[in-house]
Structure 1
Amino acid sequence: MGARHSCRAFLPEPIPRETIEAILSTAQKTASWNNTQPWQVVIASGAAVERFRALMLQLASSGAEPTSDFPFPREYRGVLLERRRACGFQLYDAVGVQRGDKAAYARQSLRNFALFDAPHVAIVTTDEALGAYGALDCGAYVSNFMTAATAHGVATIAQAALAVHAGAIRTHFGIAEEQRVVCGISFGRADTAAPVNGYRTVRAGLAEVVRWEE
């Protein structure tokens, strides 16, 4: 967990199938509400990931109508807003984007939909009937997937941005209508020479998030 970070530049080399299966097998041990194990996962590689990448870039570039299955945060307040801004400024500083350069912001945003050039992407969905509990369980699954991947030397980034086009994702992969798209996880080997992979976000101290009652 200490070594994991959000990778935003990947090398093109694919990850061996057996390594991906080992990551998936570990993530499958994730605890879930009544052991429902609600996550369903599509792994796209090779030509499949290229077709998906092209679709996401086309949708993002054309200004297609969002079809998110889950509402994005209504607002960021107080320290939550401060942390979000700090994370964004670190990213823009790492890639040389000047503050206020909206065109550069847009170009960097498109990198999300190019999957940061990752050779693989996982699409995580849950059953609509489970509501927030299914999404919560999938969040735990995503975290464990990324931690397991790190243990295998595989870099990852969880991408809620992809889920903005949930309807198109369902159609593209033939996912059942009752499945709700939680997020994508782009993964592969990190390009350690890329400046964007050189920064790390700061975690809040325990005093900021924990209250002891005795």
Structure 2
Amino acid sequence: MRERFSCRAFLTKSVPRSDIQAILRLAQRTATWCNTQPWHVYITEAEGTNRLRQSLYAQAQSASSSQPDIPWPREYRGVYLQRRREAGFTLYRALGIARDDTAGRSRQLLENYRFFGAPHMLVVTTDEALGPYAYLDCGGYVANFLSAAHAHGVSTCAQAAIAHHAPLVRNHFGIPPERTIVCGISFGYADREHPANSFRLPRADIADAVEWVTH
């Protein structure tokens, strides 16, 4: 967990199906409410990735309105806004994109829809009837998939951006309406020489996140 990072530049080399299956078996061990295991995932490879990449990138370029299945945060405030800004500014600095370079920032934003060049995309869905607690369970699944992938030498980037265009993703895979699109995960092998992979973001000290109750 200390070594894993969000990869934003991938090599084109595909991950062997056997390795993907091994990672999925580990993620499947995720603890869930009443053992519901509410996720159902769709994984692309080869031309399947390219077709989804092209469709999402074209729609994102057209500036279509966002249509997520799960509402976005109402507001980023306080330390959460500070951390969000730090993440963006650190990425832009690594890529040499100035704060006032609106076009450069837009181009980098669109890289989300190219999956940063990853050879695979995993789309996480859940049963809409299970509500927010299933989102928590899926979050555990995502976290475990990321760690299991890293243990197999596979890099990842969890992407809420994929959910911006939930109707397109739903139509592309034929996902039934009773399933909620949660997020995507780009994965493959990291391009270690790319500047987008040259930095690591800090984590808050536990003193900022924990209250000890002794009586």
Q: Does 1:32 align with 2:45?
A: no
Structure 1: runs of 5+ lacking an equivalent: none
TM-score, structure 1 as length reference: 0.99
Cα displacement string for residues 77-107 of structure 1 (whole angstroms, at most 9, x for unaligned residues): 1111111111111000011100121111100
Runs of at least 5 residues in structure 2 that lack an aligned partner in the other structure: none
Residue 50 of structure 1 is matched in structure 2 by: 50
Partner of 1:90: 90
Q: Which amino acid aligns with 1:29?
A: R
Q: Which runs of 4+ in 1 moved over 2 A?
A: none
- Aligned residue number for residue 122 of structure 1: 122
Alignment length (residue pairs): 214
Q: Please list the CA deviations of residues 140-180 of structure 1 after superposition, one character each: whole Å capped at 9, or x if unmatched.
A: 10000000000000000000001011111011001111111
Task: Trace 1:1-214 onto structure 2 (pairs within 5 A).
Answer: 1-214=1-214
Amino acid at match of 1:27: A
Deviation at 1:65, TM superposition (A): 2.7
Question: Which secondary structure does the structure 2 equivalent of 1:112 belong to?
Answer: helix
Shift of 1:66: 2.0
Equivalent AA in structure 2 for residue 86 of structure 1: E
Q: How large is the Cα RMSD of the aligned pairs?
A: 0.6
Measure how far apart 1:64 and its partner are: 1.8
How far apart in 2 are the matches of 1:16 and 1:58? 28
One-letter amino acid of the counterpart of residue 41, structure 2:
V
Which amino acid in the other structure matches residue 108 of structure 1?
A: Q
Alignment-mate amino acid for residue 92 of structure 1? Y
Q: 1:141 and 1:175 mapped to 2: Cα distance?
A: 19
* Distance (Å, rounded) in 2 between the aligned partners of 1:179 and 1:166: 11
**Seq. identity, %:** 53
